[in-house]
Amino acid sequence: MSEYRHAHMKAAVVRAFGRPLVIEELPVPLPGPRQVLVRVVASGVCHTDVHAADGDWPTLPRVPFIPGHEVVGDIVALGDDVEELAIGERVGVPWLYATCGQCEYCRSGRETLCPLQLDTGVQVNGGFAEYVVANVSYVVRIPETLDPFLAAPVLGAGLASYKGLKESEAQPGQWVVVSGIGGLGHVAVQYARAMGFRVIAVDVQLPKLALAAACGAELCIDAREPNVAELVQQDTGGAHAALVTADAPEAFATALAMLRSGGTCVLLGMPPGDVPLPVYPVVTKRLTVRGSIEGTRADLVEALDFATRGLVHVTRDVRRLEEINEAFDAIRHGRVQG
Ligand code: ZN
């Protein structure tokens, strides 16, 4: 580890909310007990990173910090008490950096609900840097055969989509609406297919619907057309579940109206402000509305396995660290396909 003691690295740092990230030379962080130092190979850029850097949340991270929570890299140094990982191994560093391990949620396999959790790229420096320190208990091994530029978004967007589909409680052969075919949505369509669901893709942009069709959606619906929910009801008898990744407030009501009785609507996208809940159909059709956050470590192993078996791909742009602000702007203005 001594070779890293006085080494420096490039990193993209949030110095002030809503301002461009600053590319800086910083000391390479050194791993403590139960930590490893990872040389970053690929780091996904997610809308969550933009929200963190813009200070969009009720609880703000402390500045300065380095965002990035979809990190793939190689272990180059070990802290004390690390036995299960070795130098040279490729790992993924996900959103969940650490949880308490003791609360009712941690004890019941729902660690993503732990109130004491630390998140990569928010409370702990993330992967928009040449090196990152990771927690041995929460990193995941990445197979050599898996493209790191595919593995990185699977750690965040893929995992969130996969978990949301599990939370929908849909069964193989059933219809699932995927609303919003962006970074999450286009991966969600592929997971849904791989899990045996029949997919109804909903968006307001034709190129995104074309992407959904290429990803395996059977029905592709332009939500700007009139009576789209009635159409889905006629064609399928109503969807068994819906996964809303869009953050347009109207997307929620449309997805809800596409459900059959007993259906479940899972919310992943977060529109600014509140969205009205149509109580009448929720009560009379016994609908369920629930949120879903990131998956657990066990979910992550499953999500990566689908990708390793070639069942999930991502549409992506590869950029250099110095282009981080351009990448953020592209996401802010919806100029990203996939
Ligand atoms: Zn906990």
Q: Residue 88: what pLDDT?
A: 97
Q: What is the pLDDT of residues 204-250, one digit of tens each?
A: 999 999 999 999 999 999 999 999 999 999 999 999 999 999 988 89
Per-residue tokens: 336? 């990203």
Q: What is the pLDDT of residues 144-167, one digit of tens each?
A: 999 999 999 999 999 999 999 999
Whether the CB-CB separation of 264 and 164 falls below 8 Å is answered with no
The secondary structure of the chain, three-state, reads CHHHCCCEEEEEEECCCCCCCEEEEEECCCCCCCEEEEEEEEECCCHHHHHHHHCCCCCCCCCCECCCCCEEEEEEEECCCCCCCCCCCEEEECCEEECCCCCHHHHCCCHHHCCCCEEECCCECCCCECEEEEECCCCEECCCCCCHHHHHHHHHHHHHHHHHHHHCCCCCCCEEEEECCCHHHHHHHHHHHHCCCEEEEEECCHHHHHHHHHCCCCEEEECCCCCHHHHHHHHHCCEEEEEECCCCHHHHHHHHHHEEEEEEEEECCCCCCCCCCCHHHHHHCCCEEEECCCCCHHHHHHHHHHHHCCCCCCCCCCCCHHHHHHHHHHHHCCCCCC
Q: What is the pLDDT of residues 187-214, one digit of tens each?
A: 999 999 999 999 999 999 999 999 999 9
Mean pLDDT in residue range 78-92: 97
User: Could you tell me the distance, in angstroms and rounded to a whole number, from the CA of residue 292 to the centre of ligand 1?
Assistant: 17
Q: What is the pTM of this model?
A: 0.94
* Residues within 5 Å of ion ligand 1, judged at the Cβ atom: 99-100, 103, 106, 114
The percent of residues above 70 in pLDDT, for the chain, comes to 100
Give the whole-angstrom CA distance, residue 199 versus residue 208. Answer: 14
User: Could you tell me the distance, in angstroms and rounded to a whole number, from the CA of residue 137 to the centre of ligand 1?
Assistant: 14
User: Could you tell me the distance, in angstroms and rounded to a whole number, from the CA of residue 113 to the centre of ligand 1?
Assistant: 7
Q: What is the pLDDT of residues 259-280, one digit of tens each?
A: 999 999 999 988 778 889 999 9
Q: Residue 47: what pLDDT?
A: 83
Closest CA to 172 of 194, 145, 189, 156: 194
User: Could you tell me the distance, in angstroms and rounded to a whole number, from the CA of residue 225 to the centre of ligand 1?
Assistant: 45
- Round the average pLDDT of the chain to a whole number and report it: 95
User: Could you tell me the distance, in angstroms and rounded to a whole number, from the CA of residue 107 to the centre of ligand 1?
Assistant: 7
User: Could you tell me the distance, in angstroms and rounded to a whole number, from the CA of residue 90 to the centre of ligand 1?
Assistant: 27
Q: Residue 78: what pLDDT?
A: 97
Mean pLDDT in residue range 26-46: 96
User: Could you tell me the distance, in angstroms and rounded to a whole number, from the CA of residue 118 to the centre of ligand 1?
Assistant: 10
The percent of residues above 90 in pLDDT, for the chain, comes to 87
Q: CB atoms < 10 A from the CB of 50, how many?
A: 17
User: Could you tell me the distance, in angstroms and rounded to a whole number, from the CA of residue 141 to the centre of ligand 1?
Assistant: 23
Between 2 and 37, the higher pLDDT residue: 37
Between 57 and 300, the higher pLDDT residue: 300
User: Could you tell me the distance, in angstroms and rounded to a whole number, from the CA of residue 34 to the centre of ligand 1?
Assistant: 18
